[in-house]
Structure 1
Amino acid sequence: MAAARILVVEDEESIREALTVALRGEGWAVEAAPDGSGLEARLEAFRPDVVVLDWMLPGRDGPTLARVVHSFGDVGVVLLTARSEVGARLRGFEAGVDDYVTKPFEMAELLARLRALLRRLGRVPTTVQVGDLVVDATAGVVTRGGHRVELTATELRLLGFLVENRGRTMSTTQILTQVWGYEDVAENLVQVHVSALRKKLEAHGDRLLHTVRGIGYVVRA
């Protein structure tokens, strides 16, 4: 499968450049623009799988451009916005926005949301391998050294998030937000589930799920 293609439309240069570096670091093809001028031509030439749009752009704003994007077919749209009011978000969804990321944002959260959207669009492999660990998120199947590892639904979501971000240390807050959907719970919830998950994985091999003291957790071979 060819690399996923991401078009970034963001007028703030520092954010645009940071996004370009991070997205290319995922192995995706990236094109970036400072505004929506010439968007139709870019869509025709680049044929992106997902467009990341800033809401507040010079000229046509994000929701307006989202309508243009969807006129080109099954292209995902992620909107970057500092606006949190319900009415604004509804306008975006009505324009065909698939997901929101609120500024200021953590790059890891945006990458996770993009991976999830690309999976829904069928543009990324659903199977991830780290060493002898193989995780098929779609089928809900995990194997280690050829042995099936039986996980609960929460453990599967937790492991899926960590292997998607393999090699990166994920904080407890990031894990709570992405796996549980909220962060206003006791942090030991993550510790308990990591401990149970680690025990199951290490029944068939060496440690893959590591604790980075004072920061969070990382999966690496």
Structure 2
Amino acid sequence: MRLITVSGPPSSGKTSVIGKTIEALEKKAIELAVIKFDCLSTADELIYEKKGIKTKLGLSGSLCPDHYFVNNIDACFHWGLKENVDILITESAGLCNRCSPHIKGILSVCVIDNLSGCHTPKKIGPMLKFADIVVITKGDIVSQAEREVFAYNVKMVNPKAKILHINGITGQGAAELGRLFLSANDYQNLDDKKLRFTMPAALCSYCLGETMIGKDYHIGNVKNMKL
């Protein structure tokens, strides 16, 4: 089974890109499924279900959504195998630019939009830096010069990534992403697989539910500013 991880900042167009890519693959005799990871609630899974795509939803609640992803991805992979899925796509919540769900050997995609600002690529971190493919969206509502500057800044952060421009409304460019999905590595398990980048160094008292403010309550892995 081919596993594809799709990540990106909130509202960058991840669900639209996945949806249009699935449409581009409809003529292929393959079984697809999507697992949507989010925090508290989402209706994105309904978009996939309307397309007849097998879908599972994972809500992390009070936990970091990307930590929740790592805790559950192995079980999700085996679910895909059980369902005889050819391509299993995971969509991250995209709430932490420091986290990254990318796995070594697994095709990884980062979706980022032109409207986020030309300096945004430098702020996203490993989610962008370690992706195999970077999809840039919303190029139809900015100028050509803005598109070129944004793509250049993406390339500066991740020079090895393949950059695709996809329109989440019309689907223009999605066929190429679909072709890359089909060329992804095929695995029967995730044994010995590792994340491409470590999750944020934690555990502090606030991770465990502390709400009081003050040095007396700063316990665990904490970092103080130099003021």
Q: Normalising by the residue count of structure 2, what TM-score does the alignment of the two structures yield?
A: 0.37
The structure, 1 or 2, with the larger RCO (C-alpha pairs under 8 Å, 6+ apart) is 2
Comparing both structures, which one devotes a greater share of its residues to helix? 1
